[in-house]
Amino acid sequence: MSVHDRIREMVENNDVVLFMKGTKTMPQCGFSSRVASVLNYMGVEYTDVNVLADEEIRQGIKEYSDWPTIPQLYVKGEFVGGCDIVTEMTLSGELDELFDKKGVAYDKDAANKIREANS
């Protein structure tokens, strides 16, 4: 199975996937930590893929999404973006809207607390 097939399988078979450096409980870069922290705080169930553990995935995900950086967030098969985009979407409420539209469970109060703390 090619690396793109492996990535496609992960993205299609999991509602929310975060390709990151490290894991959701032990991020190994600040950008991955920020996105994982948002998802964790909002109570989103997601699959974390540690790109540092697999060089093929680390390079392949950049080609798959045509996005040069990690972390990368996927929701119901759709590429959302990296750290800056996820941060902006969280603060604007767009991430809530995406989760609502895609039927992904999350803690709305936690999302509001993030926005309150950053306003």
Using alpha carbons, select from 21, 25, 12 the residue that is nearest to residue 55.
21
Rg of the chain's alpha carbons, rounded to an integer? Answer: 14
| Host H or E run for residue 20 | strand 16-20
Paired tokens of 68: 């040069």
Rounded to 5 degrees, φ, ψ at 74 are -120, 135
Q: Which residues pair with 49 in a beta bridge?
A: 19
* Residue 29 annotated in ligand binding: yes
Q: Is 28 helix (H, G, I), strand (E, B) or coil?
A: coil
Angle at the Cα of 75 from the Cα atoms of 23 and 71, rounded to 5 degrees: 40
Query: Which residues contribute to the annotated binding site for [2Fe-2S] cluster?
Result: 29
Binding site as annotated, residues: 29
